[in-house]
Amino acid sequence: MQIAETVTFAAAGPDRAAHLRGDTDRMAALLATGKVLPLWRGKVLMRDESALGWLAEGHAALAHGRSAIFLGLDTGGAAWFARDISDWSPEAGAEAVEHGFFDPSVQAHPALPDHLGFHELRGVMTALSPEEAALAATARAVLHWHRSHAYCATCGHASDMVMAGWQRSCPGCGAQHFPRTDPVVIMLVTQGNRTLLGRSSGWPEGMYSCLAGFVEPGESLESAVRREVLEETGVQIGPVRYLASQPWPFPASLMIGCAAEATSETITLDPAELEAAMWCSREDLLAAHAGQREDLKLPRNGSIAHFLLTNWLADRLD
Full-prediction pTM beyond 0.75? yes
Q: Is the pLDDT of residue 94 over 80?
A: no
pLDDT digits (tens, 9 = 90+) for 4-34: 989 999 988 889 999 999 999 999 999 999 9
- The percentage of the chain sitting over the pLDDT mark of 70, rounded to a whole number, equals 97
Mean pLDDT of the chain: 93
3-state SS record for the chain: CCCHHHCCCCCCCCECCHHHCCCHHHHHHHHHHCEEEEEECCEEEEECCCEECCEECCCHHHCCCCCCEEEEECCCCCEEEEEECCCCCCCCCCCCCCCCCCCCCCECCCCCCCCEEEECHHHHHHHCCHHHHHHHHHHHHHHHHHHHCCECCCCCCECEEEHHHCEEECCCCCCEECCCCEEEEEEEEEECCEEEEEECCCCCCCECECEEEECCCCCCHHHHHHHHHHHHHCCCEEEEEEEEEEEECCCCEEEEEEEEEECCCCCCCCCCCCCEEEEEEHHHHHHHHCCCCCCCECCCCCCHHHHHHHHHHCCCCC
Residue 85: per-residue pLDDT: 96
pLDDT, tens digit, 9 for 90 and up, residues 249-278: 999 999 999 999 999 999 999 999 999 999
* CATH assignment, 182-313: 3.90.79.10
Going by pLDDT thresholds of 50, 70 and 90, the confidence category of residue 92 is very low
Query: In the predicted model, what is the mean pLDDT of residues 275-288?
Result: 96
User: What are the residue ranges of CATH 3.90.79.10 in the chain?
Assistant: 182-313
Question: Residue 99: pLDDT above 70?
Answer: no
Q: pLDDT digit string (tens) for 174-211? A: 999 999 999 999 999 999 999 999 999 889 899 999 99
